[in-house]
Chain A
Amino acid sequence: MPPSFDEMRISGSEVRDHYRTYERWLQAQPQDVMRDRRDEAEMIFRRVGITFAVYGAKDEDGSGTERLIPFDLIPRVIPSHEWEDMEKGLRQRVSALNRFLHDVYHDQEILKAGLVPAEQVLNNAQYRPEMRGVKVPGGVYSHISGVDIVRAANPDGSGSYYVLEDNLRVPSGVSYMLEDRKMMMRLFPDLFAMHRVAPVAHYPDLLLETLRAVAPAGVVEPAVVVLTPGMYNSAYFEHAFLAQQMGVELVEGQDLFVRDEHVFMRTTQGPKRVDVIYRRVDDDFLDPEVFRKDSTLGCAGILGVYRSGNITLANAIGTGVADDKSIYPYVPKMIEFYLGEKPILNNVPTYLCREAEDLKYVLANLNQLVVKEVHGAGGYGMLVGPAASKAEVEEFRTHLLTNPSNYIAQPTLSLSTCPTFVEAGIAPRHIDLRPFVLSGTEVQMVPGGLTRVALKEGSLVVNSSQGGGTKDTWVLED
């Protein structure tokens, strides 16, 4: 594995162009000032209540299960020419994924063409037969997409971006992108005077515009709501935040009911009709009459209303079939098939363990590969070969042999690093990037996204549930 690509430095002494001003500034900051700023940030995050829930944990102050996501003071900087390419690539990729979703629930051209194995799609647990033939406004399925991107080092020392995975169900994290920026501007206003950082604060506006644009046909002033599983959900802060920023109601399943082929919410002035639901509840919990019977988070009968076109769900039901890890390897083919274009963003080479050849290779090279569960998320259920113990590798070998089609494998990418303010001082830590792509009448996004950082030395796992933190992400305008 080549050494990691560092976002700031070419070598120990040489700084990349787009980091030059920042690096000079950073050198001039005494460490205790940085420490004070970090403490200040933590205090503010706690007061504002920007927390996420960890199941089964308890805070010292008794507030139960709320944790802060560690915020790192050193921004991740992306030069604008890199972002321009990335933006084009994201636009292309998300458009193709939406076309794919429309296709698999309608004419299934791509399956007929044999480009994606039909059984991979139709037998996928995330494929919802209930969605077959259902017309959704604008043909958009994934209105909010979070695409995880990493930069890996090439043998010549340069770096290339790769898409690690597409999140098309209920991707989260955008509130941290917005709050991190607010915090940076509060802590270091002088930095923003020194740099031309592309703003991101209009994201809620774009989101509202997107949601209004996909209202059911004929609805002039759509009533948009955000549906949350409730305040004990790990992303509750984000749900409340987005609803507030958009000025729409934050509802729970118990607030909704179906009558006369429409969805209503219970208000102090009687029932009020709902037209668009930005739902942050998984498919399985959405309608206890169709999906999980024990769900109290959804609204009974909502699927019927949805099928009749009287409500828009964002994202649509059944998007999971397109972000499944077993479908991921086919995304470049989708782009060529639907758009007739060459993919702009790279995919990571992926071995499908369900294929005998691939499985053989994976088993022979377990200590060099990353093995992931096809349906896994949040950094759980994966093996990082080079970092794993012998016992862990052997345990995964057993899993693989028992149920090969449940796994994929990829070469261990050396995720790029970014200088990060840790206990010992400033040190490189691995990062990724999640831009948020909005699809309504058009595809829109704010520059950058959420940068997650693995705070443990050498760790490649950036998930907040496993000790990951976040950084402000700057796209520098020229």
Chain B
Amino acid sequence: MLSRTADHLFWMSRYMERAENTARMLNVNYETSLLPQSAEATEQGWRGLLSISELTPAYLQRYKDFNGRDVMDFMVRDENNPSSILACLRAARENARAVRGTLTTEVWETQNQTWLEFNRLLREGAFMRDPGAFFEWVKFRSHLSRGVTVGTMLQDDSLHFLRIGTFLERGDNTARLLDVKFHALAGEYFGAGNDKESPEVDFYHWSAILRSVSGFEIYRKVYRNVIQPELVAELLILRPDMPRSLAACVNELVANLRLVANQHSGETLRRAGRLQADLQYGRIDEILATGLHAYLTQFLARVGDLGGGISRDFLVPEAA
């Protein structure tokens, strides 16, 4: 297929996935902010959300302090924030439009409809009225987008590049979520200095993280145990059967990369395979011993490197 087409497909699914994960993070922060907690803790939550996405400086150019209303506004509908849900859905739709002939009618219409509906919901004030329901809607549209893709697309390179985009982005997003939350919550336990709050508050925070990746019930099912930070980390990093874990994302990434391999992509595939092996044979106690933050920082760098490799090998090849 055309390299440019693959590029648009890759970014279409990345942006859709990013919109979903942003909605997930916002929702969990919004729900947490409704719990009885100190003003500092609440502010810390919003501050952390911006730092996950490396958006603190951009935010501070427009707003003074870290309150929920402003942060949500910035992350949901700020035209000038390239990571806002609005910007992601627009980019997903623009990328889809650029290759609408490659998508099935259902896939294109789903993307287009999402964008039209999103604007209508904003205009009608749905977001202000009930942020929780609004974030659910974004997640739902992402589910629909993914489902219609898998359910209607021919299983050729088009689908594989869509999947590559989805899982690269999801792996990146899960890692960022883990990093900032552990950083803020668990303090020195995981290698960063911070004050610990009471155990009960901890429970709500850990369960909130799990919920943000639809992992609360999964945690119970897998561990049949009280919520423990190391097990939460294990679930989200190493469990290959947890659909939003780093291991699951990298497994899918490698599988799809194999399917599209060309004569230039050997090195990218090797690096992806190595990352996959590290996750497959890694142990949570080792990871925690070296420091979770350092581990996740390295993971993000490796995922970024894979993204660059995919781009060079397939999407934006040097002039032939």
Contacts and interface: CB of A to CB of B under 8 A. Distances in A.
B260 interface: yes
A359 to B, nearest CB: 48
Contacts of A46: 116
Nearest to B118: A61
Contacts of B100: 49, 240, 244
Interface string A246-260: 000111101101010
A27 interface: no
Query: Main SS of the interface on chain A?
Result: mixed
Interface string B108-130: 11001101100110010000000
A49 B94 CA distance: 11
Interface string B302-316: 000000000000110
5 contacts: A231-B94, A231-B97, A240-B101, A267-B3, A270-B263
Q: How large is the interface on B (under 10, 10 to 19, 20 to 34, 35 or more residues)?
A: 20 to 34
Contacts of B120: 61
A271 B320 contact: yes
A242 to B, nearest CB: 9
B320 A243 contact: no
Contacts of B99: 250
Interface of A: 46-49, 61-63, 230-231, 240-241, 243-244, 249-252, 254-255, 257, 259, 264-271
A254 to B, nearest CB: 7
Contacts, number: 75
B1 A268 contact: yes
Contacts of A259: 320
**Most central of B123, B263, B319, B320 by chain A CB within 10 Å:** B320
A228 to B, nearest CB: 10
Nearest to A59: B119
Interface in B286-303: none
Contacts of A62: 90, 119
Given A241-B101, A257-B320, A268-B2, 19 more contacts: A47-B112, A47-B116, A49-B97, A49-B109, A49-B112, A61-B116, A61-B119, A249-B5, A250-B101, A252-B4, A255-B3, A264-B320, A266-B2, A266-B3, A267-B2, A268-B157, A268-B314, A269-B262, A270-B320
B119 A268 contact: no
B35 interface: no
B98 A244 contact: no
A244 B94 contact: no
Question: Closest 5 A-B residue pairs measured CB to CB?
Answer: A244-B101, A61-B119, A240-B101, A268-B314, A266-B3
Contact of A268 (B3, B97, B123): B3
Interface string B3-41: 111100000000000000000000000000000000000
